[in-house]
C-alpha cells in the first residue's frame, strides 16, 4: 500500500510540470499579441516593450519558463492584467466558495443517493423500485447547468422559495439559504449515480451467506439491513467519493455562472473571455491541482477498498 501511494505521488510531479509547461505556453498559443490585446491600438512601442518584459515575453521561451517556475515556487502567480491585483490573492479569495459549494454538493449527493438506493434495494422488484431506478437514470443524465436552470425556474421564479443570485449578505442563515439551490443543482447528477451504486451493492451484499445466517438466527430485518449489510455495501460508495469531488469541481463552473456566485469556475470563464492571461494561468493551475488531488484521493481510496487494483 505504501509503495503504491509513493509511486502514485511521484507520478504526479512530471504531470504537474507538464501542466505548467502547457499553461506557460498559452502566452504563445493564444491568438493575437498580448500587448495588443491588453494595451489597445493606441499603445506606443515602449509601452508594449514594458508589458512584454512584465509578462516575461522578451526572453527565449526556456528562460521564461524557468522564471515562471521559480515564481510559482515562490507563490507568485503574477498580477491580473485588468484588476491590477495579485492573482494568488484573487484565487485564494474565491477558492473557499468553490470548495464549500463542491463539498456541500457531494454531501447532498451522498445522503440523497444512499437514501434512494436503500429504498430501491429494500423494495426490490416492486413498482417503487422501478420508479426509483428510472428516477436515478434521469437525474444521472441531467447536466448540472440544466438542473440549475430548472431549479431556478421552479423554485425561484415560480415559487419564490430560494434566491437565484449571489451568496447572501452577512449572516450564516442567509448564506446557507443562498447555498441550497447551487448545491442541489451540483448534486443532482451524482445523486443518481450513487443511488444506482448503492442499490446494486446492497443487493449483492444481501445475497451473501452471512446475511442468510443472520436471518436464520432471527435477527430483525431492519437490524440486518442497516447494521450489517449497509456497513459492507457502503465501501464502493466511499471509494467513488474522491472521483465525484473531481467531477463536481467541473460542474461548479456552470453552477457559479448560473447562480452568479463568486468562485474558481466563474473566475476562469471570465478571465478566458477577457483574455486576462495571468489570471487564466493561475485559475487553471488551481483547478488542475485540486483535480489532481481529488483523483489521487480517488485512486488511493480505490486501492484501499479494492486491493486488486494495487497489483496492476
Partner 1 sequence: MFKSQKFFRFKKKRIRVIKIMGNDYKAYLGGIIIMLILVSAIFAPLIAPADPYKTNVTKRLEGPSLENLLGTDSLGRDILSRLIYAARPAVLVSFGGIIISLIIGMILGLLAAYVGGVLENLILFIFDVIRAFPPIILILVLLSIVGPSLLSVIVILGVTIMPRYGRVVRADTLSEKEEDFVEAARSLGADNSRIIFKHILPNIFASVLVLSGMDMASMIMWEAGLSFLGLGLQPPLSSWGVMLQQSYQYIQTAPLMIVWPSLAIMLTMLGFSTFAESLRVALNPKLNQEV
Residues in touch with partner 1 (CB under 8 A)? 11, 14-16, 18-19, 22, 26, 29-31, 133, 137-138, 140-143, 145-146, 149-150, 152-153, 157-158, 164, 196-197, 199-200, 203-204, 246, 249-251, 253-254, 257-258, 265, 268-269, 272-273, 275, 280, 284, 287-288, 291-292, 295
207/229 Cα distance (integer angstroms): 10
Q: Which is nearer to partner 1, 81 or 268 (CB)?
A: 268
- The 3 state secondary structure assigned to 24-53 is HHHHHHCCCCHHHHHHCCCCCHHHHHHHHH
Nearer to partner 1, 133 or 174 (CB): 133
| E strand or H helix at 87 | helix 87-122
CA nearest neighbour of 249 among 216, 298, 200, 201: 298
Handedness of CA 8, 11, 17, 23 (dihedral sign): negative
Q: Which is nearer to partner 1, 5 or 47 (CB)?
A: 5
- Of the pair 30, 100, the CB lying nearest partner 1 is at 30
Collect all residues with Cβ–Cβ distance below 8 Å to 228 and sequence separation of at least 6: 210, 211, 214
- Give the nearer residue to partner 1 in terms of CB position, either 6 or 53: 6
CB of 216 to partner 1, least distance (A): 25
Closest approach, Cβ 220 to partner 1, in A, equals: 27
* Closest distance of CB 197 from partner 1, Å: 6
Smallest distance, Å, CB 283 to partner 1? 8
Contacts of 118 (CB under 8 A, 6+ apart): 198, 199, 202, 225, 230
> Would you say 132 and 196 are in contact if contact means Cβ atoms under 8 Å apart?
no
Phi, psi for residue 86 in degrees, rounded to 5:
-65, 130
What angle do the packed helices 264-274 and 87-122 form, to 10 degrees?
Answer: 130
The least distance separating partner 1 from the CB of residue 57, rounded to whole angstroms, comes to 17
Rounded Cα gap, residues 252 and 264, in angstroms: 8
Question: Measured from the CB atom, is 50 or 270 closer to partner 1?
Answer: 270
Cβ closer to partner 1: 35 or 151?
151
At closest approach, how far in Å is the CB of 244 from partner 1? 13
**Least distance between partner 1 and beta carbon 112 (Å):** 17
Amino acid at each position: 500500500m505504501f509503495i503504491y501511494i509513493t509511486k502514485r505521488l511521484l507520478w504526479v510531479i512530471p504531470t504537474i510540470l507538464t501542466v505548467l509547461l502547457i499553461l506557460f505556453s498559452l502566452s504563445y498559443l493564444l491568438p493575437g499579441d498580448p500587448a495588443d490585446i491588453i494595451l489597445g491600438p493606441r499603445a506606443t512601442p515602449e509601452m508594449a516593450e514594458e508589458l512584454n518584459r512584465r509578462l516575461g515575453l522578451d526572453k527565449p521561451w526556456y528562460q521564461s519558463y524557468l522564471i515562471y517556475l521559480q515564481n510559482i515556487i515562490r507563490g507568485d502567480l503574477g498580477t491580473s492584467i485588468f484588476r491590477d491585483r495579485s492573482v494568488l490573492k484573487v484565487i485564494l479569495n474565491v477558492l473557499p466558495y468553490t470548495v464549500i459549494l463542491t463539498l456541500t454538493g457531494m454531501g447532498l449527493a451522498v445522503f440523497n443517493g444512499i437514501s434512494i438506493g436503500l429504498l430501491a434495494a429494500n423494495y426490490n422488484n416492486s413498482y417503487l423500485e422501478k420508479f426509483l431506478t428510472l428516477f436515478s437514470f434521469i437525474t444521472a443524465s441531467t447536466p448540472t447547468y440544466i438542473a440549475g436552470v430548472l431549479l431556478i425556474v421552479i423554485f425561484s421564479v415560480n415559487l419564490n422559495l430560494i434566491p437565484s443570485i449571489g451568496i447572501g449578505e452577512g449572516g450564516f442563515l442567509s448564506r446557507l439559504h443562498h447555498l441550497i439551490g447551487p448545491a442541489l443543482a451540483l448534486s443532482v447528477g451524482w445523486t443518481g449515480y450513487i443511488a444506482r451504486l448503492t442499490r446494486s451493492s446492497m443487493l449483492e451484499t444481501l445475497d451473501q451467506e452471512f446475511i442468510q445466517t443472520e436471518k436464520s438466527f432471527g435477527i430483525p430485518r431492519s437490524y440486518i439491513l442497516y447494521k450489517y449489510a449497509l456497513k459492507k455495501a457502503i465501501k464502493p460508495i466511499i471509494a467513488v467519493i474522491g472521483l465525484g469531488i473531481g467531477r463536481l469541481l467541473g460542474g461548479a463552473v456552470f453552477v457559479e455562472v448560473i447562480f452568479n456566485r463568486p468562485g474558481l469556475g466563474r473566475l476562469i470563464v471570465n478571465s478566458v473571455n477577457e483574455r486576462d492571461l495571468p489570471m487564466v494561468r493561475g485559475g487553471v493551475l488551481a483547478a488542475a491541482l485540486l483535480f489532481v488531488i481529488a483523483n489521487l484521493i480517488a485512486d488511493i481510496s480505490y486501492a484501499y477498498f479494492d486491493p486488486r487494483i494495487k497489483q496492476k
